[in-house]
């Protein structure tokens, strides 16, 4: 059996809950591969991933064993595996910074964050103490100061950073250079779902381009009832999220759309939906002879488990890059698994590069030229 991959989690919310439960599901069902793009990547399976530290700010999670905290309110995702083992990990207090939007206090505690009145632990020291190799960032959308803080902590501790939220860290040239100089491989930014609104939108957009349909305008409207959607009611926190989702779709179009002709982003918070996310998607275009074409689709998914099958691969690929002494952004890995990577490329191209990396025929951190990234 391969060595374990020692992982820390910043933000024990729904995504973390689904990931941890999912890991237990696959560990207890070693022949099961449903919901996984890869059961094993080289010698690393789900059973090799070990959560060794976790940070949050909610009074109902901080100080509690991790196996209990993942089920604490306001988490509301569906249960994958209820009987979690004792991980020997208590959730520690992280810095609040800008992690809690002002309007969140206007809602019932069952649906929002309740910050603990405690001092944050020294994250950098804790990462080193626990021998963490990879830090997952699950901060709420708009938490720019918090995301930067955890990225800095990873840098000073020699820990790989997988940025699952839309603050631009890995795609920021300065941060990318600093991680490269420090010899640390990183993946980001803003995790894609396994089959979510953006990946569906990208796929249909590419289909249109490949089939000669000129896309004229499009929108993607999303509703949900978890803390992510509640947090995003504050529109000022959405700037990077909209950029991230929009660039992911534009990356599959032969001719990018003007800003006024593409609208992608969260639409509203519907409490009773809980972790269920519903996407309403529309594309208008022109086909043969300029004849109009209209397409509409509706997608309903459980939001948080939808990222689990992606994160589980990002962790293992980052670990392989660490084993091979690579550093800096993992370009193809980021392009395939993230909405706003350092370099956008088609899923077909980035997947082939990942397969070449796994087989040892390419470095994951090898710079990608504009030509090799062409969507044409």
Per-residue pLDDT of the chain (376 residues; tens, 9 = 90+): 469 999 999 999 999 999 999 999 999 999 999 999 999 999 999 999 999 999 999 999 999 999 999 999 999 999 999 999 999 999 999 999 999 999 999 999 999 999 999 999 999 999 999 999 999 999 999 999 999 999 999 999 999 999 999 999 999 999 999 999 999 999 999 999 999 999 999 999 999 999 999 999 999 999 999 999 999 999 888 888 888 889 989 988 888 899 999 999 877 999 999 999 999 999 999 999 999 999 999 999 999 999 999 999 999 999 999 999 999 999 999 999 999 999 999 899 999 999 999 999 999 999 886 443 333 3
Range(s) of the chain covered by CATH 3.30.360.10: 197-302
Residue-averaged pLDDT of the chain? 94
Rounded Cα distance, 316 and 303, in Å: 22
Asked if residue 51 lies in contact with residue 330, where contact means CB atoms within 8 angstroms, the answer is no
Asked if residue 42 lies in contact with residue 86, where contact means CB atoms within 8 angstroms, the answer is no
- 276-286 and 292-302 strand pairing: antiparallel
Residue that has been written with the tokens 């660490």 in this structure: 322
Rounded Cα distance, 331 and 187, in Å: 8
Looking at the structure, give the CATH architecture of the domain made up of residues 197-302: 2-Layer Sandwich (3.30)
Output DSSP code: residue 120: P
Asked if residue 141 lies in contact with residue 234, where contact means CB atoms within 8 angstroms, the answer is no
Query: Can you give the pLDDT at residue 265?
Result: 80
Rounded Cα distance, 184 and 45, in Å: 22
Query: Can you give the pLDDT at residue 180?
Result: 98
Which residues lie closer than 8 Å to 374 by C-beta, 6 or more apart? none
- 161: part of which helix (H) or strand (E)? strand 160-163
Asked if residue 98 lies in contact with residue 214, where contact means CB atoms within 8 angstroms, the answer is no
Asked if residue 365 lies in contact with residue 180, where contact means CB atoms within 8 angstroms, the answer is yes
How do residues 72-84 score in pLDDT, each as one tens digit? 999 999 999 999 9
Rounded Cα distance, 316 and 337, in Å: 12
Cα–Cα distance list, 238 to 26, 260, 325 (Å): 34, 17, 36
Which of these CATH numbers, 3.80.10.10, 3.40.50.720, 3.40.47.10, 3.40.50.300, describes 5-192+305-358? Answer: 3.40.50.720
Range(s) of the chain covered by CATH 3.40.50.720: 5-192+305-358
Rounded Cα distance, 218 and 263, in Å: 7
Among the residues of 169-304, which ranges form H helices? 173-181, 197-210, 227-231, 239-250
Record the tokens describing residue 16, joined without a space. 């973390």
Nearest by Cα to 338 from 245, 242, 215, 240? 245
């Amino acid at each position: 059996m391969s060595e374990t991959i020692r992982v820390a989690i910043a933000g024990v919310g729904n995504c973390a809950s689904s990931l941890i439960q999912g890991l237990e599901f696959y560990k207890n069902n070693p022949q099961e591969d449903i919901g996984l793009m890869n059961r094993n990547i080289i010698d690393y399976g789900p059973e090799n991933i070990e959560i060794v530290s976790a940070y949050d700010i909610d009074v109902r999670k901080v100080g509690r064993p991790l196996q209990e905290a993942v089920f604490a309110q306001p988490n509301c995702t569906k249960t994958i595996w209820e009987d979690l083992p004792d991980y020997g990990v208590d959730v520690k207090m992280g810095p609040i910074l800008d992690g809690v939007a002002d309007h969140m206090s206007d809602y019932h505690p069952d649906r929002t964050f309740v910050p603990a009145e405690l001092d944050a632990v020294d994250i950098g020291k804790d990462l080193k103490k626990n021998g963490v190799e990879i830090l997952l960032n699950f901060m709420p959308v708009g938490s720019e100061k918090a995301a930067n803080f955890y990225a800095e902590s990873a840098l000073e501790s020699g820990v790989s950073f997988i940025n699952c939220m839309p603050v631009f860290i890995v795609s920021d040239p300065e941060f990318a250079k600093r991680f490269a100089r420090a010899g640390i491989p990183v993946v980001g930014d803003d995790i894609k779902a396994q089959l979510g609104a953006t990946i569906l939108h990208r796929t249909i957009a590419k289909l249109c381009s490949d089939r000669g349909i000129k896309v004229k305008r499009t929108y993607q409207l999303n509703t949900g009832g978890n803390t992510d959607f509640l947090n995003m009611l504050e529109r000022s926190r959405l700037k990077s999220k909209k950029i991230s989702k929009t660039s992911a779709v534009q990356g599959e179009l032969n001719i990018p759309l003007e800003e006024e002709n593409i609208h992608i982003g969260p639409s509203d918070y519907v409490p009773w939906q809980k972790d269920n996310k519903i996407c309403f998607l529309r594309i208008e275009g022109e086909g043969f002879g300029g004849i109009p074409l209209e397409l509409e689709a509706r997608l309903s998914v459980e939001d948080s488990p939808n990222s689990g099958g992606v994160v589980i691969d990002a962790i293992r690929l980052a670990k392989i890059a660490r084993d091979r002494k690579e550093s800096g952004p993992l370009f193809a890995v980021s392009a395939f698994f993230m909405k706003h990577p350092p370099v956008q490329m088609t899923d077909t191209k980035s997947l082939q590069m990942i397969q070449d990396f796994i087989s040892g025929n390419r470095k994951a951190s090898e710079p990608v030229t504009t030509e090799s990234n062409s969507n044409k």
